[in-house]
Amino acid sequence: MRRQGGNDMTTKTLKVSATGSAILPALFAVILGLGIVTLAGHVQASALHDAAHDVRHATGFPCH
C-alpha cells in the first residue's frame, strides 16, 4: 500500500516505536497466559482439580 509521503513517514515512525516497546508487554502477556493455562489445566490441588475436571478431560490435559 502506498500513501502520501508525509503520512508514510509518520506511520513508519509510529511502527518502529511500537515494535521497540512491544516485546516486553508481549513477553509479560505470554507468561501471564501460560500461568492461567497452568492453573486451569495442571495444578493438582483437589478443589481446583474437581472444579476443572470435565474441562481438563475435554481439552486433553492429563487429569488424574
Partner 1 sequence: MFSRILTSALFAGAAAGLIAALLQFLFVQPVLLHAELYETGELVHFGAEAVSAQPDLPGMFADPMRDALTVVFAMLTYTGYAVVMVALMSVAEGMGHAITARAGLLWGLAGFITFHFAPGLSLAPEVPGVSYTDITARQIWWTATVAAAGIAMWLIAFGGNLMAYGAAALLLIAPHLIGAPEPESFAGPVPTELGALFAARAFGVGMAAWVLLGGFAGHFWQTEGKRANAHA
Q: What CA–CA distance (Å, rounded) separates 18 from 59?
A: 35
Sign of the CA dihedral running 61, 57, 63, 28:
positive
Binding region for partner 1 (CB under 8 A) = 15, 18-19, 21-23, 25-30, 32-37, 39-42, 44, 51-52, 54-64
Q: Could you tell me the smallest distance in angstroms from the CB atom of residue 21 to partner 1?
A: 6
The CA distances from residue 35 to 12, 16, 32, in Å, are: 34, 30, 5
Q: How far is the CB of 6 from partner 1 (least distance, A)?
A: 17
Q: Which is nearer to partner 1, 7 or 59 (CB)?
A: 59
C-beta of 4 vs 19, nearer to partner 1: 19
